Amino acid sequence: MKSLEELKRIKEQTLKAMDLRQAKNRGKVVVAMGTCGIAAGAKDTLMAVIEELEKANIHDVQVVQSGCMGLCDREPTIEVSMKDQPSVIYGDVDDANARRIVHEHVQGGQVVAELVIKRGNI
């Protein structure tokens, strides 16, 4: 270690690894992980969301899990709530849809209309 630049580089790199512990303000993606959700592949959905956010270098959106949202026939379901916008619940979110939602809604700000189950809080 010979310079502040190097120090900064380590800081940036490590911050990524510590990302999960940082407070995130821009938004939150909740993946329903009830038995129904898991049976329908919610875990793949969860990992897809995390992976896609990482690929897009988005670090201010939190991904958390919840239990069953009560919409068992449309599982996997996820809820995307971006700051200052009403939250949106999507159904039938498989791996591909999850990635699409990250791109279009989280990154692009456009709700993926055809997957929406409900807008606004449940």
Partner 1 sequence: MIRNQLLICAGGACITSGEKSVKDVLVEELARNGIQDEVQIIETGCMGACDLGPIVVVYPEGTFYQKVNVQNAGLIVNEHLVKGRTVGGLLYTEPTSERKAQTSGDIPFYTRQVKRVLRNCGVIDPLSIEEYIARDGYFALGKALEMTPDEIIKTVQDSGLRGRGGAGFSTGIKWKATKDATGSPKYVVCNGDEGDPGAFMDRSVLEGDPHSVIEAMVIAGFAIGAATGYMYVRAEYPLAIERFEYAIGKAREYGFLGKNILNSGFDFDIEIRIGAGAFVCGEETALLRSIEGKRGTPSIKPPFPAQAGLWGKPTLINNVETYANIAPILINGADWFRSVGTSKSPGTKVFALVGKVQNTGLVEVPMGTTLRELVFDIGGGIRDGKKFKAAQTGGPSGGVITADYLDMPIDFDTVKEIGTIMGSGGLVILDEDNCMVDVAKFYLGFTVDESCGKCTPCREGTRQMYHIMERICDGKGQHSDIERLSKLANVIKDTSLCGLGQTAPNPVLSTIRFFEDEYRAHIEDKKCPAHVCKHLLTYSINPDKCVGCTACARQCLVHAITGEVKKIHVIDQSKCTKCGSCYEICRFSAIRKE
- CA of 64: how far to CAs of 11, 18, 33, 43, in Å? 25, 16, 10, 12
| Contact residue for partner 1 among 24, 100, 103, 118 (CB under 8 A) | 24
Contact between 39 and partner 1 per CB under 8 A: no
Binding residues for partner 1, rule CB under 8 A, total 33
Written as one letter, the residue type at 4 is L
- Regarding 62 and contact with partner 1 (CB under 8 A), the answer is yes
Dist CA 90 CA 77 (whole Å) = 6
Q: Which stretch binds partner 1 (CB under 8 A): 2-10, 75-83, 84-92, 101-109?
A: 2-10
